[in-house]
Structures are given as C-alpha cells and as structure tokens.
A = this chain, B = another copy of it.
Amino acid sequence: MIETPAPAARSEETRQKILDTAARLFRRLGYRSTTLRAIAREAGMEAGSIYYHFRSKDEILAEVFDLGITLVFDAVKRAVSGVGPEKPWRDRVRAAIKAHLDAFFVHGDYTSTNIRIFGQAPQAVQERAMALRGAYENYWKTLLAQAQRAGEIRADVDLKILRLFLFGAMNWTVEWFKPGGVSLTRLADTYTAYVFDGVDAGRAPAAQPSRTRARRA
C-alpha cells in the first residue's frame, strides 16, 4: 500500500527540503554566509543539484521571504476571523498578536529570516517581497483603525506609531523567546494588556482570568 510518491510530489518534497534548510541557515548565518554548498549538504544533495530546483540563490531567498510573510499573514487572518462578531476589538487584536507570535515559532526559520536579514538581501529580492509585506501591514492598519473607530483605542493615538510599536515588541521575540518559559498564549495576553492598559500602578491590572490583584490607591 505504501508506494513511492509520484515524481512530481517527490520533486516538490525536495524543493521544500531545500527551502527549509535554507531558511534555517539564513536565519542563523545571514545571507552571504549561507552557501549553496551548505544548503545542499544539509538537504542531502550536491551543490549543483540545487539548480535543478531553483534558478539562483536569490530565488531561494525570495521564496523564503514570501513564505515567511504568507504563513504569518494567513495565520493572523484565520485567527481574527475566528473571533465572534459580538466580541470587542481588543479580542481581535489579541488573536492577531497571538497568531503572529505563534507563527514565529511554528515557522520560526522563515519568519526570523524575514525579520533578521531582509535588510541585507539584494535589492531585487527586497522589492519582490515588498508587495506582500505591504499587504500584511495594511491588514494591521485596518484592524487597528476599526478598533479606534469603535472607540476602543483613544482617538488621539497615532495608529502608524502604534503599529510600529507593536510590531517591534512582537518581532523582537524572535531574538529571545525559547519554549519552556512563558507560554505564547500568556505572552500574547500580556502584550495585549500592555498595549491597551499599560503597566501604570494607578490603573486597574489588565483583566486576566486566573489572578486578580488588589489595586493601589
């Protein structure tokens, strides 16, 4: 019953293995230090064979970039649309934050490569990825704008600054998050609470299910 996969499927599998390996090496070593020979070795083939699947090193990088953005974007859209229409916008923002963070660690090599080495990619590769990046940013712009229009974000908040503030906080987690400590769900809850409520002691602590603390004066 177990058969050899059809040639097309087999090839697609190898292609995917090359991308996975490349993403992992790009993330750790950067663009130039990642050599096609190293990718080939870890993917179990010879260097020249990569050109059977890709036209150039830049094309591999470009696909890693695209896949990284797409995986995050899709996960975020799915999470947000899963929040009931009667729920406040804060819940949708929280779902988006959680999905964004989750995607970092399910597809960590792709997303980290995006964050870490986008700036050092050849310009042609950057330009190709810009469209997808822009679409993802626009999604967040709209999400935050709706929350503001609904009155859940103060009208004096500059949404562009807020979005970049939040993106920074989220994207930085690729530099320090390790599984085993704080969970991603808890981290997403915490970040959401920081953004909406702040950490000031003169305010009520963020609503969190399992622990309520006395408030100061």
Contacts and interface: CB of A to CB of B under 8 A. Distances in A.
Interface residues of A, number: 52
Interface in A128-153: 151-153
Contacts of A175: 119, 168
A171 to B, nearest CB: 6
Contact of A151 (B30, B194, B201): B201
A161 interface: yes
A107 to B, nearest CB: 18
A167 B172 contact: yes
A176 B182 CA distance: 29
Nearest to A115: B175
A197 B198 contact: yes
A167 to B, nearest CB: 6
Interface in A155-172: 155-158, 161-162, 164-172
Given A30-B32, A198-B195, A119 B120 contact: no
Interface of A: 27-33, 90, 116-117, 119-120, 151-158, 161-162, 164-173, 175-176, 182, 187, 190-191, 193-201, 203, 205, 211, 213, 216
Given A152-B201, A164-B176, A172-B172, 6 more contacts: A154-B200, A161-B182, A164-B173, A165-B191, A168-B175, A169-B172
Closest 4 CB pairs of A and B: A168-B172, A32-B32, A30-B120, A198-B198
